[in-house]
Every structure is written in C-alpha cells, then in structure tokens.
Amino acid sequence: MRPEDLLNGMNHIDDELIEEALQKEPVRRKRIWVIPVAAAACMTLLVGYSVMRTGIAVNHYEQTSVTQETQQEAASGLLQEETEASEINHSASGEAAVPAAGNYDEVYTMLKLYNDAQILDGDIAYMTEAAAEDIVTEEAPLADSGTAAKEAAATGASNHSGTNVMVEGIDESDLVKTDGKYIYRVSGTSVIRTDIRDGRPGAESTIELPDPQASDNILELFLDEKYLTVIGEMTKTAELQQFGQDYARPEGIPDQVRTFAAVYDISGEAPQFTGLFTQDGYYNTARKQGSRITLFTNVYLYAEAFEKDGKMNAPEQWVPQAADKMIPADSIYMAEDSDSGILASTFTESTPEVFDDAKFIFLHYAQVYVGPSAVWLYYNDYLYGSGSTKIISMPYGDGRIFAGNTCSVKGSITDRFAISEGPDTLRVLATVDNGSGQTDNRLYLLDKDSLELTGFLTGIAKGEYIYAARYIGDTAYFVTYRNTDPIFAADIADPAHPKLLGELKISGFSDYMHPWDEDHMLGLGYETDPVTGTFLGIKLTMFNVSDPTDIKAEDTMVIREGRASSAIDYNYKAILADPGKNLIGFSALEGEEDVAWMPYYNVFTWQAGKGFEKLLHAETEDDDAVRGLYAEETFYIVGNDVTAFSMTGKEWKVIP
C-alpha cells in the first residue's frame, strides 16, 4: 500500500514549495510515516481507517526555514519574478476533483470506520508522502454560470437599498428585505410585512408559515419583485415521521433538524404560498441568482441512524435528503473522513418542491464562499502541526453543481473577503501563525480550474494579522494590524508574479473595506492608541487609492471616544455602504466608562474636500439584528419595529 493511495486529490502549498520556487533548486523530499503508539489491534483498524481518506490528499513538502534575505525580498514584493510558473506548479495525482461514493455501502463503511476510530483513539494515524512533481490533476467540467447574473442585472435597480453582499450579482439572505413598496422582516416564527408605499410605515400584516410546527424557526429572507422566500429550521422529533417517508425514525436517534425554504408569490396584493423546499441539516447560508437559490446546510450523521447491531440500517434512515429524496450515492463526496458535512442544493422559486441538483460533501465545518462560477468550501486543517487551509471548488451552472478540485495552502483565512474568485485565478490571503505570536501573511494566486499555485507573496507584515481584504480589478487591498493599521496594495494582474505596490500605516485598524469609487476605498473599524493598543472608538476612514503605490488616508472620523463595539466586526450584511446614494450606515453599542452600553444606529455621508458628516444617531433596541435601509427619500431603521426618517434637508426628522 502506497501512502499516496491513502491521501489523493489535493494540492498542498507549503513553505518548502515556496522556498523551492524562490531558490530554483531541487527540494529533497522524505517519506513521513506518523503512527501513534497503540496496541497492534488498534493499529490495524486505524490503518484501515486511513485508507478511507479517499478525498483530501496532500502533497506534503518538508518544512524548511526561509532565509532572512528571502523574507526581506518577499516582504518588499521582490519574489524573483524571473521564476518560471512551471517551477512552482506542483499538484497531486489521483482522481479528478473530490471522489464520489460508488454506493451507499461505501459511505457506510467510511462512517463506521470513522466512528470506531473516534471511539478507540481521538488521535488518528496518518501516513503522508511528498508527491512527485509535475503531475497535473484533471479539471472538472465548468458549466456556464453567467445567465442568472445577467438576468438579475437586466431587471434594473429601483431606488431602494439591498443587502450588502460579497459578490455583485449574487444576492444573500438576511433578516430584513425591501422591494421599495414593502419592508419584510423576520419576527420569531412569522414574517411581518410593512407597507411603505406612502414613504412612511403604514399597515402591517403577518405572513404565517404553512402548517406551522412548534419547532419552526425563521432565520432569513430572500426577496425580488415576484417572490419572497422564507428560510428557517424545523426539528423532527422521534415521535414524528421523518421526511414524509412511511417509516418512523429508529428509537434512540437524536432529534434531526431540517432547513426549509417557503416560497410566496408577492406579485399580487396579498402574498400567496407557492411551495416548500426542505433539506436535511442546520442552516449554513444561501445564495440567489435570478430565481434560482442555492441552499447550504450542515448535516450530522449519528451512529444510531446508520447502524444497528453492527449492520447498516436502511439508507432511507440516514442518507441526507433534499425535497424528500435521498441524495444519490454518486452525489456524495468523501472530501475527508467525517460524520458530518455540507449539503448544497439548488432549486427555482417557481417550483420549490423539487431540486435541480444536490451534492453532499463529507468534511468538518467549512466556510462557504460563492463566486461567479464556483462554490468554494474552505476550512482550517491541522494535520501537519502548523495550520493550513484546505479549499474545495465546486463549479456550478444552470442549476447543476459539479465536483471540482482541491488544494491546501499554509495559513488561515481570517477575513471573509480574503478569498475571492477572479476571471482566471482564485485569490487567497492567509495568516500563518506558529503559535507564539510570530505571524507571516501571504497572498496566493491559484489557477481557478486546477487550483495549481501560479504565484505568491510571503513575509508580509510579520507579527500582524489580516483584518480586512478586498480585491478590485487587478489589485488586492488588505489591512493587517498589531498596534497600527497598515493597508497594503498588491498588483495581481500577472498571476505568476504578484508584487506589493505600496502601504500606508495609520493608527487603529479597519475590520471592513468597501469600494467607494474609482479612487477611494471606505474602511470601517476602530481607532486605537498606537503605543498601548487601547481602543478609542469606532473609526471611519476614506482611503485614496488612485495611486496604489502611494495610498493616502484622505479623511477619518472617530465616533464616541470611549467604549464602543459594532456589528461591523463580524457581519458585513449589517452594514449599509451605498456610494450611489452616498450613505454609510451601521449599528453600534456605545457608552462611556461606568455607563451602560446603549445601541445606536449611525448614518454618515462623505464628500471629497469636506470629509465625513453624521446624518443620524438614533437609539435602537439591538445592535446586531438591526438593519438600516432606504426607499426613495425615506430612511428606515428596522428591528423589532420600523422607524422612518425623512432624508430631505440637512437634519433628518422622524416621520410619525
């Protein structure tokens, strides 16, 4: 048995790979066998368990230290640009993309071995080997994904705000939505619709779920001119039938959670229920392009469900389901040994009872990024001692999701916007932390189809962490922080030779960055004492990026010196950043020492030469669940209720 038979299908980009590219010298590789001390009987089982790792495999290169000279060159962007791309492209051999299960028996075998191994020893044995050079993975078929985005763009934009999203043209679900005529907001187990056609909060009505259950919980919404889609969770207890099938759940199995999407036609005067889509698992996230929704859930497979008395239960009792149908075995991908994974399903709002496609990927908790042509799953992995990030691509198009390729990069993705799909490359910013505060920040450029490394920068802002990132055209912008806030710009036009263009150091840091216009980037974060690091308040910065080699902080404003925190730290959907309307809005908890924190919603505007101006500072009942939005010339703060402000005149006044 060869080590590569255990772990196949992943590119792994590590320090030795980078050093090889920099030095243009052959790298000595060694075979690494890691076997814990255990009884012989346990070792046999563990080795068998390792064989089941059919999906995520790694080209593991021996870790070596980079010379100080190389680090300095890397930090300045001088990464031996004459190095040929072929000298840094290494990928693993094996099956194309993440391997699919051949049948349900194979899935059961993996689950059983994983579960038994977890019981015997939480520290599983792995065997790895540096893979041979220049073996290229096959590419998964890539379908056309532009139709939905073009369809959405063709409808035109109304004079009302939308949800702040990661990728233009790909909508995201949220607690509050508006179509300019009504505001829809989540309220417990129902949705409240507020009439705003008169430019103020009017009559309210309640949209109830069809056949509501006590366990139902509404989480988020999608909205367009024709459909409202309500996303939530329901729990199926042991006393209830499972997924509409004619069998009861086996006794002793923990309650299972399903995620649902209830669709309503809102084209008439009153919303009309259209249909219900359900799939197993806890809600993770969702995306919408045109009238097609992709729903992501986290599914856990309990041993009591798939096995009884050492034998496999009927697949209907444990195989993940979507729209009351089992996911076919060849749509189940074993990215890694696990008893959990992500279920991704696509359906159209006009026919929500059926799904266009569904895939289940076995892996532990992963973040989801949806780009223009692929879903990207990424998660931290500590197989090799120092953290790395594993990335799985799942190309999509016309409602179908395909098996993509895999790779691994050293370091952790610490900001949701640090991973981005470009026209030809996947761009990744990662922070490498050796556990003692010695960090190294890196930019990786990967071929978007094969996930082979094409270019990189390393040794950036040592001792700091990446706090915020944005990719605009051929430039990557990112903020690192220790006690000051350097914002960097990197030229990524040439995938083989990225280079740092410039940096600006100011006090504090930005947690979120938003493109404002061709020459400006908005930063939202905190002011800090440059010596002590003490937080001094929430900070707005308008960066002038007209010349990326000479970034300037054109304007700054610090609000509420003293204690303050905001949803800008962790929830970009809670931010209103609208350059067209010239509005910047977010909620915050504010207060001085020894004074209770109070939630407020703040709205600002910015004008070149005049700086930031505060338009609104209104007390609210919460900070995270509150959203600010506008329709025509009225601004609304939406939480447990709706408050309206006239945006005409310099002083915004409450509209009764």
Lowest-confidence pick of 282-296, 362-376, 411-425, 590-604? 590-604
Last residue of a domain, which of 317, 345, 367? 367
**112 and 164 fall within a common domain:** no
306 vs 26: which has the higher pLDDT: 306
Per-residue pLDDT tens digits for 279-336: 999 999 999 999 999 999 999 998 888 888 889 989 988 999 999 999 999 999 998 8
Is 7 within the bounds of a domain?
yes
> 35 is in which domain, residue-wise?
3-129
Is 636 within the bounds of a domain?
no
Question: Per-residue b/e over 572-581, b at no fewer than 16 CB within 10 Å?
Answer: bbbbbbbeee
**194 and 118 fall within a common domain:** no
What was the pLDDT predicted at 99?
86
- For residue 56, pLDDT over 50 is answered with no
DSSP state of 569: G
Lowest-confidence pick of 8-12, 337-341, 376-380, 487-491? 8-12
DSSP assignment of 431-451:
EEE-SSS-EEEEEEEEETTT-
| 533-558 average pLDDT score | 93
What was the pLDDT predicted at 241?
42
Per-residue pLDDT tens digits for 89-112: 333 222 346 889 999 999 999 999
Domain count, the chain: 2
> By percentage, how much of the chain surpasses pLDDT 90?
56
- For residue 86, pLDDT over 50 is answered with no
Lowest-confidence pick of 3-7, 425-429, 472-476? 3-7
Residue 566 pLDDT grade (very low, low, confident, very high; cuts 50, 70, 90): confident
**82 and 183 fall within a common domain:** no
| 187-214 average pLDDT score | 92
Last residue of a domain, which of 97, 129, 161? 129
* Selection from 653, 553, 516, 539 nearest residue 586 by Cα: 539
**351 and 301 fall within a common domain:** yes
What was the pLDDT predicted at 54?
29
Name the average pLDDT for the chain.
78
Is 620 within the bounds of a domain?
no
What was the pLDDT predicted at 12?
55
Quote the crossing angle between the two packed helices 104-120 and 40-51, to the nearest 10°: 140
**108 and 165 fall within a common domain:** no
**25 and 155 fall within a common domain:** no
Q: Which helix (H) or strand (E) holds 112?
A: helix 104-120
- d(CA 628, CA 584) in angstroms, rounded, equals 9
Is 434 within the bounds of a domain?
no
Is 212 within the bounds of a domain?
yes
CB 516 within 8 Å of CB 500? no
What was the pLDDT predicted at 317?
86
539: left (phi over 0), alpha (psi -120 to 50) or beta: beta
What was the pLDDT predicted at 88?
28
Lowest-confidence pick of 9-13, 116-120, 275-279, 632-636? 9-13
How far CA 544 is from CA of 309, 481, 502, in Å, comes to 67, 19, 12
What was the pLDDT predicted at 253?
53
| 110-124 average pLDDT score | 70
Is 407 within the bounds of a domain?
no
- For residue 77, pLDDT over 60 is answered with no
**209 and 299 fall within a common domain:** yes
What was the pLDDT predicted at 140?
31
Amino acid, single-letter form, for residue 332: I
What was the pLDDT predicted at 25?
35
**163 and 297 fall within a common domain:** yes
Q: Where are the alpha helices (DSSP H) in 271-321?
A: 303-306
Is 164 within the bounds of a domain?
yes
Last residue of a domain, which of 367, 388, 406? 367
Lowest-confidence pick of 57-71, 346-360, 489-503, 620-634? 57-71
| 489-500 average pLDDT score | 97
Per-residue pLDDT tens digits for 246-273: 334 445 455 679 999 999 999 998 999 9
Per-residue pLDDT tens digits for 190-202: 999 999 999 999 9
Residue 386 pLDDT grade (very low, low, confident, very high; cuts 50, 70, 90): low
DSSP state of 185: E
Please tell me whether residue 604 adopts helix, strand or coil conformation.
strand
- For residue 36, pLDDT over 70 is answered with no
**155 and 261 fall within a common domain:** yes
DSSP state of 607: E
Helix/strand/coil percentages in the chain, nearest 5: 10, 45, 40
Is 351 within the bounds of a domain?
yes
Q: Token pair for residue 26?
A: 């052959």
Residue 545 pLDDT grade (very low, low, confident, very high; cuts 50, 70, 90): very high
What was the pLDDT predicted at 415?
94
Amino acid, single-letter form, for residue 138: E
| 6-33 average pLDDT score | 43
Residue 397 pLDDT grade (very low, low, confident, very high; cuts 50, 70, 90): very high
**193 and 309 fall within a common domain:** yes
Please tell me whether residue 552 adopts helix, strand or coil conformation.
strand
What was the pLDDT predicted at 420?
98
**55 and 198 fall within a common domain:** no
1 vs 357: which has the higher pLDDT: 357
**245 and 103 fall within a common domain:** no
- For residue 154, pLDDT over 90 is answered with no
Nearest 10 degrees: Cα torsion 530, 533, 536, 541: 60
- For residue 71, pLDDT over 80 is answered with no
What was the pLDDT predicted at 382?
64
Q: Token pair for residue 133?
A: 């050079």
